[in-house]
């Protein structure tokens, strides 16, 4: 079982989308609203059966890449 830590969200209500980090592998787990419109899904490249596309605001990913050593620079250190 993975050991996950909540690392941030850009939601004003504490909901989705949200990022979590696997403490062992440092992989990022994205929780959010799935992209389900068939016209949108057909535009995705390298999208295989079983894949799930999740809609994430650009700003949340910018935080992931620019602030510290993990998603949103541990936006919520209490979790």
- φ and ψ at residue 55, rounded to 5 degrees: -85, 125
| pLDDT single digits (tens) 3-47 | 999 888 876 665 678 889 999 999 989 998 899 999 999 999 999
**pLDDT beyond 50 at 75:** no
Task: Say whether pTM exceeds 0.75.
Answer: no
Token pair in block for residue 67: 């602030």
Is 75:63 a contact under the CB 8 Å cutoff? yes
> Would the pLDDT of 77 be above 50?
no
| Positions of E strands within the chain | 4-9, 18-22, 28-31, 33-34, 54-55
Predicted local confidence at residue 15, as pLDDT? 67
């Amino acid at each position: 079982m993975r050991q996950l830590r909540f690392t941030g969200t850009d939601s004003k209500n504490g909901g989705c989308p949200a990022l979590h980090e696997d403490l062992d592998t440092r992989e990022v787990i994205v929780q959010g609203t799935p992209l389900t419109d068939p016209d949108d899904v057909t535009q995705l490249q390298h999208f295989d059966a079983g894949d799930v596309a999740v809609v994430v605001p650009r700003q949340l990913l910018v935080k992931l890449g620019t602030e510290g050593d993990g998603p949103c620079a541990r936006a919520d250190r209490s979790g």
